[in-house]
Structure 1
Amino acid sequence: MQSLRARMARVEQSYAPHDHRPLGGYAVAMGAFGALAASLAVAVKATGKPVPARPATADVVLLSLATHKLSRLLAKDSVTSPLRAPFTRYAEPAGAAELNEEVRDHESSVKHGLGELVSCPFCLAVWVATSLTGGLVLAPRLTRLAAVTLTATAVSDFLQLGYDVAKRAAEGD
């Protein structure tokens, strides 16, 4: 009988013969995301916390900006690089305290898939948004406070970048 690993390697090779696509790693990430979502649903059910029929527009805006900031912070910030280091390798600075990193070559498709996940703010956003949304139901005051902090930081980032552009324009650069 063929091992699961050998079968997955064959599927990966037939799916993308000219490019390494860590399908096994993606499957593990999808399973972990499903476990996160299911855990949140079980926690909500167990605590009896009411789920809003329709989220408030202010909460959607707040969580959207907080999701943007936390996803970029986790995936690109210099200070959080130790979290990504087991799965990525430093490539170059990306400006504004961000880094470009490359996924390490791993024999394990799981590690490779995790490397892609932790270095991609777009990929992390669904995890962050799900966690913040669950937090909004389970601990709304604390979640809103954390989201306000992240949102204020995101707005500050945009203002800093705008200031820099305006300064360069005024100096004629």
Structure 2
Amino acid sequence: MGTRPRGHSPGRERPLRGYLAALAAFGAYNTGWAVMICRRGRALPERPDRRDLALTAVATFRLSRLLTKASVTRPLRAPFTVYDGPEGPAEVSEHPREGESAATIGELLTCPFCLSVWLVSTLTAAQLLWPRPTRTAMGALTALAAADALQLAYAALESRATASAD
């Protein structure tokens, strides 16, 4: 049996009206992107390039962690979340504030999985409209994800070496 994410307990009432508003906002957001892409006359590719899929996946992962968990972006989430404490290297744990709107936005801003849906839509549309700058930004986020993985691997090796020396 897996663990439930914070705030997703079976007894807690879910903000269904807030979710409905978020769904409507997501639809409007993506409609706006689609209209902008059509007005610019951008043709959709026959199929996504595999390299773009990989780049978008890693960039979305890193950006969603940065926006939902990083200590440095906490001021952006603070109006909608309550601080619980540190959680992993340079990350924090938070939960949504009470109140329908705050709870919905708070869930979006504390859940990397939830925010990823919005981010992948944004990056995909931006890639169609502004391919070079978007790929450059996604490349930087991908490099950051790789650097983070190397930092964690180094720390684990250092910890193992220290434990072996004892």
TM-score normalised according to structure 2 size: 0.90
- Rate the CA distance shift 1:18–1:96 in 2: closer, same or farther, 3 A: closer
Give the aligned partner of residue 41 of structure 1.
34
Give yes or no for the alignment of 1:32 onto 2:25: yes
Q: 1:93 aligns with which of 86, 95, 99?
A: 86
Give the aligned partner of residue 151 of structure 1.
142
| Equivalent pair of 2:96/2:102 in contact (CA under 8 Å) | no
| Equivalent pair of 1:44/1:137 in contact (CA under 8 Å) | yes
Give the aligned partner of residue 4 of structure 2.
none
TM-superposed deviation, 1:95: 1.8
TM-superposed deviation, 1:170: 1.2
| Equivalent pair of 1:63/1:132 in contact (CA under 8 Å) | yes
Deviations 1:59-88 (A, max 9, x none): 000010000000010000111111110110
Give distance in 2, aligned partners of 1:66 and 1:32: 23
Paired residues in the alignment total 156
Equivalence map 1:1-173=2 (5 Å): 18-106=11-99, 109-172=100-163
Give distance in 2, aligned partners of 1:148 and 1:19: 40
Structure 1, unaligned stretches of length 5 or more? 1-16
Give distance in 1, aligned partners of 2:145 and 2:72: 16
User: How large is the RMSD of aligned CA atoms in angstroms?
Assistant: 1.5
**Amino acid in the other structure paired with 2:98:** D
Deviations 1:94-117 (A, max 9, x none): 1210000011122xx122111111
Structure 2, unaligned stretches of length 5 or more? 1-9
SS of 2:71's equivalent in the other structure is coil
| Equivalent pair of 1:26/1:110 in contact (CA under 8 Å) | no
TM-score normalised according to structure 1 size: 0.87
Return the index of the structure with the highest Cα Rg.
1
Give distance in 2, aligned partners of 1:36 and 1:147: 21
**Amino acid in the other structure paired with 2:137:** A
TM-superposed deviation, 1:19: 2.1
